[in-house]
């Protein structure tokens, strides 16, 4: 075997993977940003005593968590166009699908974090004259956010890996760029190794950073 030739495909596919790398990061960050907003609203709605608000949030969470993200991608990209004549580009569809998908899981993270705070904390806040909203803002939320950090970090990693599924709608992320190279060279082995390394370059440092944050905040 000519080992020199064996390494050639790595150098050829790496620039393509790098282009997809930045799109993957963009989709993950933007999707999770809106996913967190949606998840925070849905999570608090899941704590509401209003049955209508609670029911709407619960339906959203259960439907999204109960269906594959691949189906959700197809629905946003193809289904909305067929049903409502609403069309999105691949990048916009990726933002929407990832936001709605991650939002459902973040909603449960938010709900669980807030629910885990002892009831006495709210009562203590109310006893010093705070309204319910003020007590949530100044007493409950700071503690809840601290407890959200580990699962939110895990959700970021999960969503980042899920972004590979956007290759099915021809979004130029890491996997799609690799598939383009394979289509012209039929070089599977080195291409998939390069793709795996690209994901590891993101996820391993992120995992280490999250551990450091957890230690500094003493998240148990």
Q: Where are the domains of the chain?
A: 3-217
- The pTM of the full predicted model, rounded to 2 decimals, is 0.87
Which is more confidently placed, 198 or 220? 198
* Pair 126, 135: CB distance under 8 Å: yes
Q: Supply the pLDDT for residue 34.
A: 97
From 9-18, 78-87, 151-160, the region with the lowest mean pLDDT: 9-18
Say which CATH architecture domain 3-217 belongs to. Orthogonal Bundle (1.10)
| Mean pLDDT confidence for 211-220 | 72
104, two tokens: 């459902």
Q: Supply the pLDDT for residue 5.
A: 60
Measured between alpha carbons, how far is residue 140 from residues 73, 82, 120, 197, 217 in Å?
Answer: 35, 44, 10, 40, 16
d(CA 52, CA 46): 10
18, two tokens: 């790098």
Which is more confidently placed, 220 or 172? 172
Residues 6+ apart with CB under 8 A from 99: 30, 31, 32, 33, 34, 35, 38
Residue 25's pLDDT band (boundaries 50, 70, 90)?
very high
Q: Supply the pLDDT for residue 146.
A: 84
d(CA 46, CA 89): 32
Residue 215's pLDDT band (boundaries 50, 70, 90)?
confident
Q: Supply the pLDDT for residue 6.
A: 58
Measured between alpha carbons, how far is residue 132 from residues 104, 111, 123, 156 in Å?
Answer: 25, 17, 9, 31
Which is more confidently placed, 4 or 15? 15
**At residue 219, does pLDDT exceed 60?**
no
Residue 211's pLDDT band (boundaries 50, 70, 90)?
confident
Which is more confidently placed, 117 or 38? 38
**Top-confidence range, 91-95, 116-120, 150-154:** 91-95
Average pLDDT in the chain = 88
d(CA 103, CA 190): 35
| Mean pLDDT confidence for 27-32 | 95
Which is more confidently placed, 178 or 3? 178
The single-letter DSSP state of residue 51 is H
49-79 exposure pattern, b = at least 16 Cβ within 10 A, e = fewer: eeeebeeebeebbeebeeeebeebbbbbbee
* Pair 97, 162: CB distance under 8 Å: no
């Amino acid at each position: 075997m000519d080992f020199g030739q064996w390494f050639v495909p790595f150098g050829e596919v790496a620039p393509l993977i790098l282009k997809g790398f930045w799109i993957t990061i963009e989709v993950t960050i933007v999707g999770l940003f809106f996913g967190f907003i949606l998840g925070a609203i849905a999570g608090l709605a899941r704590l509401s005593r209003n049955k209508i608000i609670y029911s709407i949030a619960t339906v959203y969470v259960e439907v999204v968590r109960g269906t594959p993200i691949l189906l959700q991608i197809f629905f946003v990209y193809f289904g909305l166009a067929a049903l409502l004549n609403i069309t999105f580009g691949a990048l916009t569809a990726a933002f929407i699908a990832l936001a709605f998908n991650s939002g459902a899981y973040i909603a449960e993270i938010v709900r669980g974090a807030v629910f885990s705070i002892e009831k006495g904390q709210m009562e203590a806040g109310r006893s010093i004259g705070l309204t319910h909203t003020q007590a949530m803002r100044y007493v409950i939320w700071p503690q809840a956010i601290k407890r959200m950090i580990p699962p939110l970090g895990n959700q970021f990693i999960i969503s980042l890996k899920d972004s590979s599924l956007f290759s099915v709608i021809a979004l130029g992320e890491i996997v799609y760029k690799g598939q383009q190279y394979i289509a012209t060279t039929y070089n599977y082995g080195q291409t998939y190794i390069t793709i795996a390394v690209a994901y590891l370059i993101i996820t391993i440092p992120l995992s280490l950073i999250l551990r450091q944050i957890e230690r500094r905040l003493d998240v148990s």
